Amino acid sequence: MTREGATSPARTILVADDDPDLLLLMSLRLTNAGYDVSVASDGRQALDRISQSLPQMAVLDVMMPELTGREVLAGLRAAEATQHILIILTSAGFFGDVDDLDLPVRADGYVSKPFGREELQNRVTELFQR
Amino acid sequence: MRAPVHPVNLPSAGGPTAYGSAVPILIVDDNAGKRLALGSMLVPLGHEITEADSGPAALRCLMSRDFAVILMDVRMPVMDGFETADLIRQRRQSELTPIIFISAYGSESMANITAYAAGAADFIFSPVPPAELRAKVTVFANLYLRAERLAADAQDLRNSADRLTLLTDAAPIGIFRTDAENNFVYTNPRWSEITGISFEDAVGRPWAIVSPDRAARFPAVAQVGDGDDHRLMDRFEIFSPGDSLVRVVEWTAEPIEDADGGMLGWVGTLADVSAGAAASAAMEAARDAALAASRMQRDFAATASHELKTPTASVLGFVEEVLDHDSLSEIDRKYLGIAYRSAQRLSRLIDDLLLLGAADVVPAETTYDPTELMPLVRLAMSSFSGAAQDGNVHLAIETGVERAAERLWALADPLRLEQALANLISNALKFTPPGGEVRVAVRGGEDAVQIEVSDTGIGIEESALDDIFNRFYRTRAALDAGVSGFGLGLAIAQRMIEAQRGRLSVTSVVGQGSTFTITLPAAPRLLPA
């Protein structure tokens, strides 16, 4: 596991999930990995907070109330200020749902739930190293 | 042919002569000698001669038959030639029969003869010159023959028209004809059945009586330009007064043109296609229902997936976090480890059950894309390289066939094919002891392609081969060997392959290994070779 945050300033990530337990788990792990983590518990909140604080990355659950992860993704890509933010979609969805390659607006990475201990951190590290 | 005998009062031999066909000729004269003389002059022509000795006798003859020409003596007692001719003209049947008057030159009736003859016939002065008589008779005989032929042709036409009408009357398809103004001139009985309009009501009336709103689609002859494709075809509905759909009707029409390309009207057909239309509507409804059901199942599966996987992710994640703590006692670590492995097992079972559900849902939605096989096979294999190494099993693409296989494409759903293949490879690795080998081979022909997964594992007893694709089935050998699993992998693989119109088959020898073969329809190559 890379501890990016060891040298400041820490990278900023917003994590959005409507399941509070998973939101806690993900923010715990990413915080432990040294990132500066903020959270949102639905899609509308996520879009508002991202637009306001402009984090470097957003980890969005696909199935959220108010706005789905895909809608938040589309909203971010549509605005100039937010279109370069790295996006990871997470999903506890059905087979084939997570990496739907046919969609016009695509995320930078996908992680399906449940994910192993290092899976999310590894994907985040990969994207920051690109 | 018999030589013509004396013709008087007898039909001659008849039939064609050197001059043509025999025609009936009437000679009218009160003097038997003159009749004989005239008849004799005509013998070489071979015609059929009838004699009458007076005007009334001539009229009697004309009642029963037609003559090509009448030779009429002008001067006869009781009723002279002109009177007789007047009466002949008054009868419709004989009004056009040509009459040659025979009269003495210089007689007082000469003026009458010329006046009369100018209108209708001809005249000859007696004594009659034989050559002139024969020439005149021949002219009229030929006219008569030509008229007869025309009449016969006309009759033929009438007969064939009658036969055609019989055909169109009996035809199981509606047939109609319109004139240049788009008014009906003919409709057959089936047309009336379909439209509910009798021939009597249709004739002389326009197309709009059948389908008011489509009348515009049926262009008037004047509107059709040259060089257009004049053939028309359309469909419309005929409604009952209550406005419920009665019939779906398909009609075709083609213009009738005269010799100069001018338009005379339309001829066309009308077919009742209600049954077909109803059937396709029913098929559409059934397909929509199937898709809706499939979508509902899919939505259910998506929700179930979300509801099952989210808590599983929590359990696994937080147990992992606690297991990470250095302060854990040995016994806590052991128990938490058991909980973690059980949760992992549960998670895999959920995945498999969802996949199995997906395999049942997908057929209606499965896409069949031309799929390049080798990249897909390499991708599926790449995720097992770690597992193969851990188990000390050699995992390889069969050499020798790889080169040809590079060009193979299948008609498949790539995501589901990869899933099925992954299940087969995972299975092969599980049942192959250390030091063994799992080989994947891709072969193909014109119509079908095969992906084979062979292992050097424990093999499957023949008695179990029929059961291994059943859900939750596990072989005795697998249970005895302690190989983990739910007995779902092969069931999923088979359903996924069958959803793609493919086949999954197996051969096995106990103690030597098994070969699973996926067969799929080949796709035409899309890339240049």
| A94 Cα to chain B: minimum distance (Å) | 5
List the B122-126 sheet strands across, edge first: B48-52, B24-28, B69-73, B99-104, B122-126
* Winning range, highest mean pLDDT, from B18-27, B69-78, B202-211, B349-358: B69-78
**Residue contact B309–A94, C-beta within 8 A:** no
Sign of CA dihedral B294, B297, B302, B303: positive
Mean model confidence pLDDT for chain B: 79
SS3 call for B241: coil
pLDDT at B15: 40
**Cis peptide preceding A9, ω within 30 of 0:** yes
Distance CA A90, CA A73 (A): 12
Instruction: Report CA-CA distances (Å) from B231 to B228, B234, B268.
Output: 9, 10, 9
Amino acid A20 reads P
**Residue contact A22–B317, C-beta within 8 A:** yes
CB-closest option in A28, A113, A117 to B309: A113
- Interval B284-290 mean pLDDT: 78
Nearest Cα residue in chain B from A26: B317
Residue-wise pLDDT for B112-128, tens only, equals: 666 665 455 777 887 88
Q: Are A12 and A30 in contact (CB under 8 A)?
A: no
pLDDT at B282: 78
Q: Which residues contact B489 (CB under 8 A, 6 or more apart)?
A: B352, B423, B424, B426, B427
Confidence label for B1 from pLDDT (cuts 50, 70 and 90): very low
DSSP code per residue over B304-364: HHHHHHHHHHHHHHHHHHHHT-TT--HHHHHHHHHHHHHHHHHHHHHHHHHHHHHHHHGGG
- Interval B495-523 mean pLDDT: 89
With pLDDT > 90 as the criterion, what percentage of chain B qualifies?
13
Q: How is residue A19 written in tokens?
A: 């399941």
Q: Are A41 and A14 in contact (CB under 8 A)?
A: no
Q: Are B491 and B470 in contact (CB under 8 A)?
A: yes
Amino acid B36 reads L
Residue-wise pLDDT for A3-43, tens only, equals: 444 455 789 999 999 999 999 999 999 998 899 999 999 99
pLDDT > 80? residue B133:
yes
More confident residue, B286 or B84: B84
B316-336: burial string, b at 16+ Cβ within 10 Å, e else:
bbebbeeeeeeeeeeeeeeeb
Q: Which residues contact B106 (CB under 8 A, 6 or more apart)?
A: none
**Residue contact A25–B354, C-beta within 8 A:** no
- Please give the interface size between A and B, counted as residue pairs whose CB atoms are below 8 Å apart: 60
- Among A62, A94, A115, A121, the strongest candidate for a mutation testing the B interface, having the largest count of B CBs within 10 A, is A94
Q: Is any Cβ of chain A less than 8 angstroms from the Cβ of B297?
A: no
Mean model confidence pLDDT for chain A: 83
| B257 Cα to chain A: minimum distance (Å) | 56
Strands B99-104, B69-73: pairing kind? parallel
- Look up the pTM and report it: 0.45
Distance CA B391, CA B379 (A): 20
State the Cα torsion A13-A17-A19-A21 to the nearest 10°.
Answer: -10
SS3 call for B239: strand
Locate the DSSP E strands across B214-312. Answer: 232-239, 245-257, 263-272
- Interval A48-58 mean pLDDT: 92
Which residues 18-57 of A have a C-beta within 8 angstroms of B? 19, 21-22, 25, 28-29
**Residue contact A92–B419, C-beta within 8 A:** no
Distance CA A50, CA A38 (A): 9
Instruction: Report CA-CA distances (Å) from A4 to A125, B93, B404, B437, B451.
Output: 8, 123, 47, 42, 44
Nearest Cα residue in chain A from B319: A117
Q: Are A41 and A18 in contact (CB under 8 A)?
A: yes
Distance CA B408, CA B420 (A): 18
Q: Among A7-11, B185-189, B454-458, B468-472, which is the least confidently predicted range?
A: A7-11
SS3 call for B86: helix
pLDDT at B17: 41
B13-32: burial string, b at 16+ Cβ within 10 Å, e else:
ebeebeeebbbbbbbbbbee
List the A12-16 sheet strands across, edge first: A36-40, A12-16, A57-61, A86-91, A109-112
Report the DSSP beta bridge partners of residue A14: A38, A58
pLDDT at B222: 43
Residue A123: which of A93, A96, A98, A94 has the closest Cα? A98
In the block, tokens 């390289």 appear at: B385
Instruction: Report CA-CA distances (Å) from B286 to A97, B170, B283.
Output: 27, 37, 5
Q: Which residues contact B145 (CB under 8 A, 6 or more apart)?
A: B20, B21, B23, B68
- Among B299, B306, B323, the strongest candidate for a mutation testing the A interface, having the largest count of A CBs within 10 A, is B306
DSSP code per residue over A76-124: HHHSTTTTTSEEEEEE---TTSTT-TT-SS--SEEEESS--TTHHHHHH
CB-closest option in A29, A92, A95 to B358: A95
Q: Are B66 and B151 in contact (CB under 8 A)?
A: no
Residue-wise pLDDT for B425-462, tens only, equals: 988 998 899 999 999 998 887 788 899 999 998 888 88
Q: What is the DSSP letter of A8?
A: S
Q: How is residue A107 written in tokens?
A: 């995320």
Q: Is any Cβ of chain B less than 8 angstroms from the Cβ of A96?
A: yes
CB-closest option in A22, A28, A95 to B354: A95
Residue B352: which of B400, B423, B271 has the closest Cα? B423
In the block, tokens 């996006």 appear at: A87
Amino acid B501 reads R
Q: Is any Cβ of chain B less than 8 angstroms from the Cβ of A117?
A: yes
Question: Helix crossing, B81-90 with B110-120: angle to 10°?
Answer: 20
Residue-wise pLDDT for B338-366, tens only, equals: 888 888 888 878 877 777 776 665 555 56
Report the DSSP beta bridge partners of residue B411: B370
Sign of CA dihedral B240, B243, B245, B250: positive
Distance CA B7, CA B43 (A): 7
Instruction: Report CA-CA distances (Å) from B28 to B38, B60, B102, B135.
Output: 10, 12, 10, 19
pLDDT at B26: 94
Q: Among B42-51, B243-252, B403-412, which is the least confidently predicted range?
A: B243-252
pLDDT > 70? residue A68:
yes
| A80 Cα to chain B: minimum distance (Å) | 32
Rounded-to-5 percentages of helix, strand, coil across chain B: 50, 20, 30
